[in-house]
Each structure stands twice: as C-alpha cells, then as structure tokens.
Amino acid sequence: MGVAMAGTAASAWPMGSRRLGGDALEYRSSFNEGWRFHKGDAPGAEVAAFDDAKWRALDLPHDWAIEGPFDVKYNARCGGLPFHGIGWYRKTFDVPAEAEGNVVYITFDGAMYNAQVWINGQFLGNRPYGYSEFRHEVGKHLNHGGSNVIAVKLSPEDLSSRWYPGAGIYRNVWIDYRNPVHVAPWGTFVTTPTITETQATVHVETTLVGEGDIGYEIIDPNGGVVAAGTTPDLVVENPRLWDIDSPNLYVLRTTVRVDGAMVDQVETRFGIRTLEFSKSGFKLNGRPVRIQGVCLHHDNGPLGAATYRRADERKLQIMKQMGVNSVRTSHNPPSNEFMDLCDELGILVQDEAFDVWKIPKVENGYNRFFEEWGERDIKDMVRRDRNHPSVFMWSIGNEIIEQREKVEGPRVAKQLNDYVKELDPSRPTTCGFNWWPGPYQTGMAGQVDIAGMNYKPLAYGAPVNEFLPNHPVVGSETSSCTSSRGVYHLLIEKYKTHESKQVSSYDLIGPPWAYPPDVEYDALERNPEILGEYVWTGFDYLGEPTPYGGKDNSTNGYWNADWPSRSSYFGAVDLCGFPKDRFYLYQSQWTAKPMVHVLPHWNWEGTGHSTIPVYAYTNCEEVELFVNGASAGKKVKGKDLTQLLVKFNRYDGDTFMSKYRLSWDVPYAPGSLKVVGYIGGKPVAEKEIKTAGAPAKIRLVPDRSGIAADGADLSYVTVRIEDADGNLCPLADNSVEFEVAGAGRIAAVGNGNAATTAPFQANRRDAFNGLCMLIVKAGKQAGTIDVKATSQGLQPHAVHLTAR
C-alpha cells in the first residue's frame, strides 16, 4: 500500500479574541473565571436561584482529584486519588443586551466525566466521554442584558479508567458570540493536495450556518497576505513547508459577508507538507523520517489533569531534547493546547481515540457508552484536530479486547476506520494491537492503513509480512522498561519487584511483556521498513504502578497490594520532568549532537559493594572511562558489547548482547567518575560525577525567571540538595520547606518518587535522591515573585522571579 497525504491545518476557531464586524461583542472569550465548586451531590443545584454562596470560589481549569488526599481506599491503579464521586460547578454571568439575536456557544474543551449541563435551569444535555470537546448553543435560554447561571454536574465513577483520569472541568471553557450567519464550529477543513517546490494548492472546505458570501486570505509565517480569493482553491507561491525541523505555520482567514457587510471571520492555522507511507517507510516532504516516538498520558504529574499550556510545552520540550519527533496521545484525544504546541514545536502526532470499544477492561469503562457515543466521539476528534499539521495518523484504539473476536473485531475496526475516512481521507488510520497473531489472522489489522504492533519486535519482518505483505507497520508501543530515577540495585539482577518499591535504573527491569530499549533498537535496525517506534512511555504518569500492585486489564482490579506505589515507573523522565538514565539511552540513539552519559552515582561508601558496574550511553564512536583521573580503558560503540539480563514473552534465552551500551566493572574508590566521548579520535563530549559529601545547602534552579502575569503561567524550580562544593547529593532525602510571596503562589510540589503519599499541594517536600520540585504559578498582577527554600541543617536559598 502506498499512500500520499496532503498537508493540513490547525484550529477552526478564531485565534485569540476577535470582534464581530460592526459590533462591540467579543467573538471568543475565556469562560474560566468566577466559578463556584462543590464536591458532593447538591440536589437542586441546576436551578438558577440555588444558593451557592458557601461553595468554593475558583477559576478553571480545575482537577479536584489532584488535591487528594492519597488514600489506600482509592485505587492505586488510578493514582490512589479521589477522582470518582459527584462534583458541581456553577457560574453566574451577565450577557449584554446587544447579544440578543446572536448565536451564543459555550464550549467545554473537556470535562471528566459524564458532564450534565444546565443554563438558567434548562437542561442542555450531557457528554459522557471526558476527553471530548463539546459545546451548547445557549442563546435562546439567556437573559440578555441580565444575569445568567450555568450549572455543570460531573459524576466520574470508580473502576472507569486504567490510569489516573483526573476529575472536574479540567480543560478550558469558552463563550462565543456569533452572527446568525457564521462558519460552523469545526466548519473549516484545509488540505494542500498539490505541492511543488514553487507552488502549493490550498483547498478549503467550509461549512456555513445560514447564507452568505465567503472570501479567503492566506497569511504566511511572517504575517503577509500571500493569496486571496473567493473560490475554495488558492495558490501559495514558494511555500515554506511545515517540518519537524522547521514548523512553518500559515493562517487561513475566512471572512463571511451578508449584503457586503462582514458578519463573521475565522482564522485557521495550518501547515503545508506532504506525508507518504509505504511498506518501505515514511516520508515527510519527500524525505525519509524514522519515527522516534513516545506514548504520553494527559496528566502533568503534580499538577494533575488540569490543562496548563506551559506544563505541556515543557513536557514536549524535554521530549525533543531526548530526540523525540512524534507523540502518541495514549489513549485519548489530548487538549487543544497540546495539539497547538505540537504544531509549533514540530512534533508529529498519532491522535488516538479510545482505549476500549464494547468489551470492557474495567467495570465502569467507556464501553458502557461506546454503542451510543463512539461514532460521535471519534468524528468529533477528527473534526477538531484534522487541521493540525502535526497530526499525521489517526488511531482508532489501543489493545482492544475485540482483537479476540473473529467477526466483531474486524467489523468494528472497519466501521471506525470508515468514520475517520469520511471526514479526513488525507491521513492514514492505525490501531495498537498487542495480541499475536489474532488480529492479523482475522483480518482486523488489515482494516486500518498502518498496523500498530505493541511489544512484538520479534514479529517484525517475515512474521507480520505473512499476514500484511503490503501494509506499513509501526511499533505503536515498545519496551515498557521500568526504573526509578537515581536508584541502583546491586548486584544487577532481573527481578519482578523489589522490597524498596523502587526499580533499578540500570534499565533492564520490566513486566513479562517488556524488554530493554536495546532489543527494540536491534529489531528496528534489522527491519528498516518498520516506520519506527513509540516508547512506553516518555514521562511517568499517575496510576498504573507496574510492576507493583496488580495486573493489567484485570476487571474490578484494585492495585493496592504494594501501597504506597501509586504512579508509573515506565517513563524515561520522572513525574517532575527530571530525566532518568534511560532518557540518555534514547538520546544516544536519537540525536546527533555529541553526548555521553555515565551511571550510576559515585557514593557507595559503607554499602558493602567493592566493584561497581558502570554504564555509558553515547552517540560517539568511542568512550574512555576515568576513575579518579586514571583511565579504565576505551570502549568502542557497536564493537564492545554489554550483556543484559533479559527475559520476556516469546524470547528464548536469558541474556541479550547489547551494542548500544558500553560497560566496565570498576573497583569502588571515592572521588571522580568521568567519561569522555570521541569521534574520529578527538574528544567531543564528556561527563563527570563526583562523590558527594554530606548535604550542606539547597540550590534553586528555575527553568524560567520571567513568566506571564496571566494567572496560569508556571515556573518549574528544580530544588537540589548539594554538598559544600556544589555536588548533587545523590542519596539525600532532606525535607525542604518553601515560601512564595508576591505576584505568584505555589501550584504544586513533587519529587518523582512513585511510592509516596505526600501531597502535591503543599509548602514542603522531601528530596528524592537529591532532587525535588517546586512549581510556581503566576498571579494576574505584574510584579516580583520571591521564592525561598529552607531545610533544617542546610544553607537556605532564595531566588526572585518576575511576573510580567
């Protein structure tokens, strides 16, 4: 199968706040401020006259579950947090008299879940799926020139998710005033069917509410108008292509006029680029690109599921530093902000709809709603996201239990594939299959354009080609290696679990289906036609504390046997965004800038270990190890192999000889461990670790010292426990207390420890292996934010941030 795909665009809603022609009303405004919240049921709260004066005042987005507390009575599989129950939100707002006669939409980017909405006591409807954007047209129910009340009831259920879903109105809410004649919501679809070096044809499909005259303008990345017309096909000369290295973005401005007067205007951001998929690989703009991807859940660690643009931006920036060029949105549509950022940063997106269809994985899962809502939810995902140039494939599901059904599996897969193709024939479909060879034998895998293989590197090549000789194949979920940042268990052994409830960072431990990254590297190297891989996962996430607590896909399963293990160990980066050693192993394969990394730490006094296994990860040709200044010898990458203990499903043997790591066994002596990477015999990269003395001081390192005074921007402040010479103390667990004053406040704290019940919303945190994190949130007034950290027996530290 050879598929050539056109480039497409971003949001079909206005970019920012725009005014209607000849009117004083805001076209689109944030509807996040001034809500009241009540946890628990509140009979009668849908009625406008209901007294909510004693309810908690807050602004959205809001995730009530992340506030805690952690408790063993909640499912550790879902983070050990109280995400289920009933919650109510109400907002009183005025509508100007001049809005009468306009169409008014209130749009929820997402509400978790089973949202029921009322306006002035009138029931508008419900939306079960917490990841779907939805809206209500409320104009006919409003008191124009007076006060109005919107009420939202949410009722997320226990055993409804396999990971932490969050709770509440956790994404943004908007109010839009539109002329009765307007471009329909998601009513713009941009494709670029013909692209050459000198020209690109831009094709526009517009759905209009009412009747009017439509005109188009295309604005280039520099802000200049480069094409205009009234027909749906426009030509851009000398197009600047959207690419992972140069994410150029254009804007389509659609203007609607009635009798010559402008009544509506929508700006749609898009990119010009080509996608080609074939059995021999993937090409972006005609250039072969191997997918270096990660799977990401939607939560942002200590901040929970609430949408923060900066949190997603930082997450994606860290992934790009690792060498990531693609993200799989496991296993649901992400926020609008996440999609916009992928467009801006040049990250390809596999946009995924569902983790379940009709057959359940957990007792109260989405399967209960799939029959009624599945078509609408997947179509709404496509309508919302089909203009994003970053989206390059649609996933209709992950590890669906229907894989076992000879008839129903292929039938539903074809049905969902057809729904997607009806709205967007320009991109391929895929699905993550983890059962071998069932869905390939039944033809289910052949119902999508690209077969997604979860944890089947041994089936690449001839085995899968026997069933799908012409289909492209991607490693849609790979490795599932687990580790805890800064934890090194000696002697090296392949265990299932450890009494510490942590996992060794020698990067070889995983559940029965899992394997070290090296195995996937080798399989991809031997099968260059595979499109690439999506590692499980880029970041740790809340819930699913494998290998602790339970078994995946266990209906009714509580994962509390190893409490307080309550979040993921799968990430190459921990819950706070601190890289684990595995981050550098991927970086060594996925980046070109010379780098070298060494592990473990070098504080082994009194442990009883006289010889320490030392690993180096590098993209250089050779690495030399120095111990206290003396060379321990050079090793050549690809030639000097490292034996790994490996045992996973369908793998014959107990070891794997890796050419992707270099290793030495080193007699321990306090001092210095240094690695130098060489290319062409010349040193090009180095890294040194020193034995740290006793903890002596705190050092605060903000990721940004200036942030926006918008009430939502964030500064992530790394908190280091150092000795008197400034060396990180790799075993330190000192308790640190924070004071934040001025134009900001504490949003959350964390340390990356997956096995603690310390709250995220607090003014103190214990260090975990020398590090913890303070997340500072800006207020809405410009000024200085004073941050101070103290700990008994340590020299304190203060920094000053600026909210602009």
Between CA 659 and CA 642 the distance in angstroms is 7
466 SS3 class: helix
Catalytic residue among 46, 477, 520, 544: 477
Under 8 Å between Cβ of 527 and 661 = no
Q: Kindly state the helix (H) or strand (E) to which residue 467 belongs, with its residue range.
A: helix 462-467
Q: What does 389-444 look like in DSSP terms, one character per residue?
A: TTEEEEEEEES-GGGG-TTHHHHHHHHHHHHHHHH-TTS-EEEEE-SSSHHHHTTS
Dihedral sign, CA of 357, 358, 363, 369? positive
Between CA 17 and CA 242 the distance in angstroms is 25
Between CA 544 and CA 557 the distance in angstroms is 11
Catalytic residue among 337, 352, 399, 544: 399
- Number of helices and strands in the chain (H, E): 8, 48
Between CA 444 and CA 421 the distance in angstroms is 17
Between CA 380 and CA 129 the distance in angstroms is 11
Closest CA to 251 of 9, 565, 606, 563: 9
Question: Residue ranges of the alpha helices (H) in 641-747?
Answer: none
Closest CA to 174 of 17, 27, 24, 29: 29
Between CA 164 and CA 543 the distance in angstroms is 5
Mark whether 399 is an active-site residue: yes
Closest CA to 20 of 267, 263, 266, 268: 263
Closest CA to 474 of 447, 449, 448, 452: 452
Under 8 Å between Cβ of 689 and 673 = yes
Q: Residue 516, CB half-sphere, CA atoms under 13 Å: how many? A: 27
Residue 246, Cβ neighbours under 10 Å: how many? 11
Q: How far apart are the first and last CA of the chain?
A: 53
Between CA 83 and CA 363 the distance in angstroms is 16
Rg (CA), the chain: 27
Q: Which residues contact 606 (CB under 8 A, 6 or more apart)?
A: none
Mark whether 686 is an active-site residue: no
> At 254, which amino acid appears?
T
Q: Give me the count of residues in the chain.
A: 804
The C-alpha angle with vertex 423 and arms to 417 and 428, in degrees rounded to 5, equals 50
By DSSP bridging, strand 532-536 and strand 291-296 are: parallel
Dihedral sign, CA of 389, 391, 393, 394? negative
| Dihedrals phi, psi of 616, to nearest 5 degrees | -125, 135
Burial pattern 30-48, b for ≥16 Cβ within 10 A else e, equals ebbeebbbbbeebeebbeb
Q: Residue 89, CB half-sphere, CA atoms under 13 Å: how many? A: 27
Between CA 88 and CA 150 the distance in angstroms is 11
Between CA 484 and CA 286 the distance in angstroms is 40
Burial class (CB in 10 A: 0-12, 13-18, 19+), 431: buried
Catalogue the active-site residues. 399, 477
